[in-house]
Chain A
Amino acid sequence: MKIVVSHDEVVLREQEGDAFLLHVPSGRYFGLNRSGLVIWQAVLDGRDPLEALAERWPDVPAERRQADADALITALVGAGLAQAVEDRPGS
């Protein structure tokens, strides 16, 4: 399973240490905390969010990182900010 973002539909803005997402089709706004921003940027870069979290917070237990990533990705997909797509050979 791969998580993808439509760049035309979601706008990120960082301000004063906070991060915000705009879902353009609905006009809804969302906030991201620090770990959420790391996960979001990893998704944008096509990287594994777990690896990005491990680089940023190596001392945090792997189970906690996994739970954070799962929770955020579920929320992002639920809000229409990202889509889960099947990995295809060669893609």
Chain B
Amino acid sequence: MSTVHTEALLVLADGETFEGVAVGHQPSDGVATGEVVFNTSLAGYQEILTDPSYAGQIITFTYPHIGNYGVNERDDEARAPRCRGVIVRDLARRPSNWRATDDLAGFLARNEVAGIAGIDTRRLTRHIRSAGAIPGAFGVADRDTLLAAAQADGGTDGCDLASVVTTPEPYKVGPDDATLYVVAYDFGIKRSILDQLVVSGCQVEVVPAGTSGADVLARAPDGVFLSNGPGDPAAVVAARESVGALLGNVPVFGICLGHQIMGLALGAETFKLRFGHHGGNHPVRHLPTGRVEITSQNHNYAVDGSSLPDGSEVTHLNLNDGDIEGVRSEALRAFSVQYHPEAGPGPHDARYLFEEFVQLMKAS
């Protein structure tokens, strides 16, 4: 099963160029573009690739061997990947795991995700660390074409990608006889989040990002959940207004983009991080207890703490860079975290937050 090597290039908007070989889906024009980010998780590539929050982005895996355990039906976070491409050092040729039903190459081809392998991903990561998340293009096309494509790609600033990836129609998950009924805004929601809400005893109705606050209240939910999602929170204007209408009238729990949107609705501002947090090993302090949680993270934007209004307190801090990881407003019965307590992939240290949401709803 000797592998054929079609040489390909990766070119960043600033001209930085890397040699590799084409893997996965082969775009007809030989070009894939997007904002290049890196993820430092050692495992969980299937969950990462299918996380809608990566819409518009090309994912670099810092761990060199990707695809070792193949892919399976159960670990997808969404129906299909939304990322624009994948960059690896080495794509496994023969997967091995009792859960595997296909190999990663096949998965990429099937889902039309272009990939490039053989890249010095550490050099790329170090470059992104200093240059910041940056648009790039890769493929079998020549360098000039790729450079032009990379420079033409606008990145994610100012893009409302949530309304691109959200569900067209509302749908329900979880049993009808569940004790609690939650309406979840889909800005790019992950399956693991729904799973966690359901195992915590909720029936969840997932609604499109554009759904108005009034419309949601009309459904008389016990609580409202604001999901993770891709892109620039500041650009998701409609959602900010809907959430503004909800705060105070119903318990609210937000994760990642949901956390940023809640922050905006509270009157705070958001800003873009240089290269974001993408990984499964970020230490976060839970301020009320002082306990440290190892968290799964995936975000390029964050809430600016100084802009938080009175009445809303910071509950979680990132110990690496001091970023705000959690906010709560007692009065408004709302709280949110920047990281991913549902894991998928990543550690389970913060799953207690779903229980807290349940308690908050029961208390109301």
B is bound to A: no
Q: Which residues of B approach A to under 8 Å, CB–CB?
A: none
